[in-house]
């Protein structure tokens, strides 16, 4: 049924649970799995104006977090009997939801799997704002893991 599953990951606990679900679905359907980590390239508008090295440090930390999140997914994909083809991607976009929906279109994904709450501060009090937007805007089904 599913041939290309997009996992939106941010390394959070909800994202880890979503990764387990995505890997199990990919294994049972023989699907490819794309793990996407989205970084906001401009979290503080003044950081680049006053200290260009601040932007470099921020992006280096973001790449490190992305690599850690992707490593967790890769470990699940490499488990005995899994045999899942994994593509790890990082995108820079001020809107994680828009980036996820665009990646669905670019990759031809037929399912999005993501956690219900990520690392977005106050928005964690309700269904994650990113999850809500992706569910509303995605052209394919979205599985939101708690």
* CATH class in words for 4-120: alpha beta
Question: What pLDDT does 51 receive?
Answer: 59
pLDDT tens string for the chain (146 positions)?
Answer: 899 999 999 988 889 999 999 999 999 999 999 999 999 887 665 555 555 667 788 888 889 999 999 999 999 999 887 789 999 999 999 899 999 999 999 999 999 999 986 555 444 444 568 999 999 999 999 999 98
Question: Using one digit for the tens of pLDDT, what is the confidence trace for 46-74?
Answer: 555 555 667 788 888 889 999 999 999 99
Cα–Cα dist 143/96, whole Å: 16
Q: Which of 45, 58, 63, 137 has the alpha carbon at shortest distance from 100?
A: 137
Cα–Cα dist 16/73, whole Å: 8
- Tokens coding 4: 């290309």
Give pTM, 2 decimals.
0.86
Question: What pLDDT does 30 receive?
Answer: 94
The residues facing 105 across adjacent strands are none
């Amino acid at each position: 049924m599913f041939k290309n599953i997009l996992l939106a990951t941010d390394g959070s606990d909800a994202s880890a649970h979503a990764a387990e679900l995505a890997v199990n679905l990919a294994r049972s359907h023989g699907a490819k799995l794309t793990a996407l980590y989205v970084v906001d390239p401009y979290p503080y508008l003044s950081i680049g104006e006053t200290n260009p090295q601040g932007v470099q440090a921020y992006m280096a930390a973001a790449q490190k977090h992305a690599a850690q999140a992707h490593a967790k997914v890769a470990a699940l994909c490499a488990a005995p009997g899994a045999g899942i083809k994994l593509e790890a991607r990082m995108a820079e976009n001020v809107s994680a939801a828009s980036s996820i929906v665009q990646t669905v279109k670019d990759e031809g994904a037929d399912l999005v799997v993501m956690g219900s709450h990520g690392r977005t501060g106050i928005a964690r009090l309700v269904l994650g704002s990113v999850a809500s937007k992706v569910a509303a805007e995605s052209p394919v089904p979205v599985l939101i893991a708690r």
